[in-house]
Every structure is written in C-alpha cells, then in structure tokens.
Amino acid sequence: MNAVAPADVREAGVPVSERGASPRKVIISYGFWLFLLSDIIVFSAFFAAYAVLAGRDAGGPRGAQLFDRAHVLAETGCLLFSSFACAMMSVATELRRRALMVLCAVATFALGAAFLALELGEFGAMLARGAVPQRSAFLSAFFALVGLHGLHVAAGLAWLVVMLAQVFSLGWRPMVLCRLACFSLFWHALDIVWIGVFTIVYLGAR
C-alpha cells in the first residue's frame, strides 16, 4: 500500500476553498500589493502638484467660488456607503452566500455609479461656467487629480461587473476569491484617496 505524505493527510477531507493559499495565489497577492502601492505613489504626486498649484488661479475662478460643498458631500456619502457595501460583499463571500454577495455587489456598483454621475455633473457645471482646465494652473491640477480618481472608480466598476460574471460562471474557485479580495482592497483604497481629495481640495478651498 502506498504511503500517504503528511501534507496529504492534513488536506484529506478539507475543501479546496479552506486550504492554504497556493504559491500562485501568493504571487498574485504580492503583485497586487505592489500595484496598489505604486498607484498610491502616483496619487501622492498628483496631490503634491495640486498643493503647489492650488493658489495659481491666473485671475480666474477659485475653488471657493466653484465648489458646491453640499454636492460634494453627496458624492462623499455615495462613495463611503459603497465602501461599506463592498465590505459586506467580502463578508458574504467568506460565508459563500452568493445571493447576499450579489446583492452587496449590486449596491456597491449602484453607489459607485451614483458617485461618478455626480462627479461628472460637477465637471459639467464647472465647464459651463468657463472653468476649463486650460484656464489656470489651479484648474489643471484640480481636473487632473479629481479626474484621475474618477477614472479609477470607472475602472473599478468595470472590474466589479467582470467579477460578478466570474462568480456565476466559475463559482468559488480560489482564483475568483483572490480576485474578489484584490477588488475589495482596490475599492477601499479609492475611498481613502477620496477622503484626502475631499479634505485637501474641497475643505481647503479658498
């Protein structure tokens, strides 16, 4: 009779989803952390540029004249609640409750899309008043920083749709679970970046 290796004994009868991470999964996770760190560095550079250029309005409109803080509060609320829904999606994934996971994912998507729609509305109102990026260094830095964040949110929404399709087509495979965990980290990172934008750009407007 063939001898059973200790590792085989430990994993006998244990569902695949509950076993330790495979080497490939660990590599993907580390790679994603490196991506996330590099993305934060990019945002830091944009924050630094905005801090330098915020006062250079070239005689044009300033932030205090352009920003509607009630509108921005609505944007912030949408993104914060979408982050909460994303956290609940992660909990549902851990419990392998697909119906609850899909419900939370839909809520995450809807709130993220509402945030993006509000942001595009804000941009449209500013452009209609002549506050275009080429008007001043301040406006160039503003559209670059806030627009970069908005592009990330749009990419996150597309990613979430792909993940929902994979959950339905592939189930709770380790590969899918790893990608869901990466998405959750990405979405929460965008939430943290937005808190910085809200504090520095909107609350600090003068």
- Residue 64 burial (CB count, 10 A): 11
Whole-number pLDDT of residue 63: 79
Neighbouring residues of 66: CB distance < 8 A, sequence distance ≥ 6: 126, 129, 131, 205
pLDDT at res. 206: 74
Residue 140 pLDDT: 94
State the Cα–Cα distance between residues 137 and 144, nearest whole angstrom.
10
What is the residue extent of each domain of the chain? 88-206
User: Which of these CATH numbers, 1.25.40.10, 3.40.50.2300, 3.40.50.720, 1.20.120.80, describes 88-206?
Assistant: 1.20.120.80
| Cα 160 to Cα 162: distance, rounded to the nearest angstrom | 5
Q: What is the DSSP secondary structure assignment for residue 22, as one 8-state letter? A: P
Burial class (CB in 10 A: 0-12, 13-18, 19+), 123: middle
- Per residue in 60-96, pLDDT (tens digit) is 788 788 888 889 999 999 999 999 999 999 999 999 9
Confidence (pLDDT) at 28: 56
For residue 159, give both structure tokens.
């990613």
Mean pLDDT by 10 residues, the chain (206 residues): 40 41 52 90 96 86 85 95 96 94 97 97 92 91 96 97 94 90 94 94 83
- pTM score of the predicted model: 0.83
